[in-house]
Amino acid sequence: MFNLDGQVIPFQEGDTIMDAAMRAGVYIPHLCHDPEFTPHGSCKLCTVKVNGRNCSACTFPAAANQTVFNNSEELNEIRLTLTQMLFVEGNHFCPSCEKSGNCQLQGVGYELGMLDTHFPLFYPQRQMDASHPDILLDRDRCILCSLCVRASRDVDGKNVFAISGRGIHSELVVNAESGLLEDTDLSADDRAAHICPVGAIIVKRHGFEAPIGERLFDHQTVGEWSLDQFDTGEQAWQRD
């Protein structure tokens, strides 16, 4: 057992703090984590304070007698800043994005009460890949969470995606000599085509299907949604 915001949380051998918290029905904000995949620990949104030190809940092992803070003003401030940085680093034009309303980055922004992006915008120049007949890759919206990399490698067994470069030069690359999706064996039935938390990888001809007011995060928070999914074992891709 450990203590999370004053609540006693049981854990199993091998659990991370995220695993144990989710099982106990406590939401820790996250973007690069999905319980089905090996944690990656890159977005840092899940930062919690463990015995006085900041750690990523999705990678940090749960241990007996830890004192963990999650839903504190200080941590939510840090998360808000991280979310604002994710917005300014990409090109997020939500009004014209097919994922809008169902996007976890938006969802986290809503949950944290983000009203503006605070920082000057980068407006980076990124390559769009519309070559594949069924799948669009819009790098403007990629937050480099690597979920598509893991899904393609670990579930589809295809290794279609990788993240290349470091720091601000990191980008999502496609494993084909041409660098184009049409030259890979990625298919719209693949897990990798449905795992993207944002609108960077989307299946074509499925945009704007739910009207405003009936989309995933119009009334329900991303926290409620992710706990609900965890409970039912139902994954995002089975819903869209």
Partner 1 sequence: MATRLKVATTSLAGCFGCHMSFLDIDERILQLAEIADFDRSPLTDIKHCSESVDIGLIEGGLCNAENVHTLREFRKSCRILVAVGACAINGGLPAMRNHIKLEDCLNEAYLDGYNTLNPQIPNDVELPLLLNKVHPIHEVVKVDYFLPGCPPSADTFWKFLTDLASGNEPSLPYDLIHYD
Give the residues lining the site for ligand FES (CB under 6 A): 30-33, 41-46, 56, 58
Q: Give the rounded distance of the alpha carbon of 110 from its chain centre.
A: 14
- CB of residue 61 to partner 1, shortest distance in Å: 33
Q: Are strands 201-203 and 135-138 parallel, antiparallel or unpaired?
A: antiparallel
Tell me if 100 contacts partner 1 by CB under 8 A: yes
The interface mask with ligand SF4, positions 74-113, x = CB under 6 A, is: ------------------xxx--x-xx--x-xx-------
Distance in angstroms (rounded) separating the CA atoms of residues 116 and 28: 22
Distance in angstroms (rounded) separating the CA atoms of residues 158 and 190: 9
Interface with partner 1 (CB under 8 A), residue from 77, 218, 231, 234: 218
**Which among 75-83, 86-94, 172-180, 181-189 is the span making contact with partner 1, rule CB under 8 A?**
86-94
CB closer to ligand FES out of 57 and 181: 57
Tell me if 116 contacts partner 1 by CB under 8 A: yes
Question: Between residue 177 and residue 196, which ones bind ligand SF4 under the rule CB under 6 A?
Answer: 195-196
- CB of residue 62 to ligand SF4, shortest distance in Å: 26
CB closer to ligand FES out of 70 and 175: 70
Give strand pairing partners of 129. 137
CB closer to ligand FES out of 29 and 184: 29
Q: Which does 219 bind (CB under 5 to 8 A by kind): ligand FES, partner 1, ligand SF4, none?
A: partner 1
Burial 33-44 (b: 16+ CB within 10 A, else e): bbbebebbbbbb
- Rg of the Cα trace of the chain? 18
Contact 192, 160 (CB under 8 A): yes
Q: Which does 133 bind (CB under 5 to 8 A by kind): ligand SF4, partner 1, ligand FES, none?
A: none
CB closer to ligand FES out of 19 and 98: 19
* Tokens coding 92: 């997020």
Distance in angstroms (rounded) separating the CA atoms of residues 51 and 210: 44
Contact 88, 119 (CB under 8 A): yes
